[in-house]
Amino acid sequence: MISYKIRGDYAELTVPKKWDKYNLESLLKDYWKAPKKLVHDWRMSKSILVNGNVPNWLATLNEGDRILFPFFTEEKPEVEPTFHELEVLYEDDHVIVINKPAGTDTHPSSPEQNHSLLNYVAFYCLSNGEVRKVRHIHRLDKDTTGAILFAKHAFVGSLLDKMLEERKVKRTYLALVHGHLKQKKGTINQPIGRDRHHPSRRRVSPSGQAAVTHFEKIKYMPTENMTLISCQLDTGRTHQIRVHLSSIGHPLAGDTLYGGMPIFERQALHALTLEFIHPITEEPIKVYAPFLDQPPIFPKMG
């Protein structure tokens, strides 16, 4: 674990033994793989201090050195902060995980929209004295519920974006699909592209973007003729789980856009868990998102 203290706009990180082969430049560029522009800006503005002094960026760091990083410099929110009750599943100085309800967009689709989850998280941070340009790290469809990750500052946002790209942010979904899915587990590896006949639909298409969905059967419910499954994604294409499961003849219950029956008011898809190694503290984080639907859509897991 990497320990730190808050010093105003700064995080003071104590150099662990494993960093003593790095200098400040290689720590940022090679260890953290931080964005070049951000590193350049910090270097030119002399914003980073080591042991209270403007450092030589090429000098080797020593265990116990104290580095001040300007992580928490105020940034004006890029969206209009809007009050709305939130279920916070995990929060620290760098990240926040929200349990997203159905019927809410992850982010605004136009500048005048102010009722997305991003607007609500911006207000939440502002109300806690954190003037932040919060960033969503991934998205959930408007009517998908569950855990969604936001970054509170640019540096951690860039690290999490890279982790997501490298599949180091693990997301597990629950889905209720029509019919008896007989396979115990499987992988759908089919590219996804736009449906030229419908503005919001996607479809399996040879010319689409690569998309990989892994699924595992949890249980079949013969009375309802539905199967409860878990899914994990190697990619994050729009409507990926919905398109892939429909393509094998098992659309999500309630997902009328992709062939599901309208037995629920939304598609039966929930982001149950979110797992990652915290990019700053290096602690393993695993977050569970309780079900939100009333009456419940998903059966009890026991």
Provide the annotated active-site residues. Answer: 141
Contact in structure between 49 and 61 (CB atoms under 8 Å): no
The C-alpha angle with vertex 132 and arms to 29 and 96, in degrees rounded to 5, equals: 80
- The token pair that represents 143 in the structure block: 């009517």
Contact in structure between 238 and 191 (CB atoms under 8 Å): no
Q: Any residues with CB less than 8 A from the CB of 240 and at least 6 apart, and which?
A: 192, 202, 211, 213, 233
Contact in structure between 248 and 189 (CB atoms under 8 Å): no
Contact in structure between 156 and 164 (CB atoms under 8 Å): no
- The token pair that represents 302 in the structure block: 């026991």
Amino acid at 187: T
Q: Dihedral, CA atoms, 72, 74, 75, 79, nearest 10 degrees?
A: 100
- The token pair that represents 46 in the structure block: 């002399």
Contact in structure between 258 and 252 (CB atoms under 8 Å): yes
- Three-state secondary structure call for residue 19: helix
